[in-house]
Amino acid sequence: MTDPATGPGWTGGSFGDTGTCVLAPNADVMTLDGTNTWVLRDRDSSRSVVVDPGPSIDAHLDAIDAAAGDVAVVLLTHHHADHSEAAREYAERHGCGVRALDPAYRLGSEGLGEGDVVAVGGLEVHVVATPGHTSDSLSFVVPQDRAVLTGDTVLGRGTTVVAHPDGQLGAYLSSLQRLHALCGEQGITTVWPGHGPVIDDALGALDFYLAHRQQRLDQVRSALRDLHAVEREGGTFPHETLPRAIVEVVYADVDPVLWGAAELSVRAQLAYLTEG
């Protein structure tokens, strides 16, 4: 599969029978084109589900309103501010609740977790626990469109950061494998991500993600061997700088502006290799 990082630009739009992506105007090096707010609604219903209202920008919330109509509930894929910042104010605007795995981000008494089914009109959203990017990361399957909303677990372009210590690589790999199995078993073909364009080959994207993570782990192992060889030959380096030293080798082809995020991923990789 071609690396998703080479994909075209992205502006959102309508997908399948139920999905509309409203792209937030918060593009940067970490959010790609911006945060994807997903409005889900059965075509025969006036009520909708809004996933990840995103940043607190009035023009964005108004754009969500234009697509959403009568909002029944707000769902969060995870707690990061570019997805959750406006959740409470947007729900209060519509007099509905916010459902999330982390209680700190809920509005109302209903939580959200593995196995839950959110039903609005003829729409069903099935909740799948996919920790790893964050400990509270969830994905949402929309059987009607054979689609899965992945938040930041799978992006439309490039690959996501597993930010130590909240992000854990072992959990993330397990989540990717679980999504792969789920897509195969349930015939899920499409990824509706939290950033970047829709992916029409869900299994191919997950194959790419799993192979990429294995490649990075192999590169980290190799860098560790080389750095330890330097020590054996009488060289020294401060061990507190080990993650950055590995970044400079493994992520040498990545824009240095992203090295801070890469270092968080390396810390997660080192923790995973230590635990293994």
Question: What is the residue-wise DSSP string for 218-240?
Answer: HHHHHHHHHHHHHHHTT----GG
Amino acid, res. 164: H
Residue 2 has pLDDT above 60, yes or no: no
Residue 82 has pLDDT above 90, yes or no: yes
Pairing of strands 147-151, 190-193: parallel
Give pLDDT, residue 230: 63
Cα(55)–Cα(82) distance, rounded to whole angstroms? Answer: 5
Cα(111)–Cα(242) distance, rounded to whole angstroms? Answer: 40
Query: Average pLDDT of 25-32?
Result: 94
Residue 8 has pLDDT above 80, yes or no: no
Phi, psi of 228 (to 5 degrees): -70, -35
Residue 162 has pLDDT above 50, yes or no: yes
- CB-facing half-sphere around the CA of 76: CA atoms within 13 A: 31
Give pLDDT, residue 241: 81
Cα(243)–Cα(155) distance, rounded to whole angstroms? Answer: 24
Q: What is the pLDDT of residues 164-189, one digit of tens each?
A: 999 999 999 999 999 999 999 999 99
pLDDT band at 235 (very low <50, low <70, confident <90, very high): low
For residue 123, give the nearest of 251, 193, 20 by alpha carbon.
20
Which of 79-83, 147-151, 241-245 bottoms out in mean pLDDT, i.e. has the lowest?
A: 241-245
Cα(213)–Cα(220) distance, rounded to whole angstroms? Answer: 11
pTM given for the model: 0.92
Q: What is the pLDDT of residues 123-142, one digit of tens each?
A: 999 999 999 999 999 999 99
Share of the chain above pLDDT 90, in %: 84
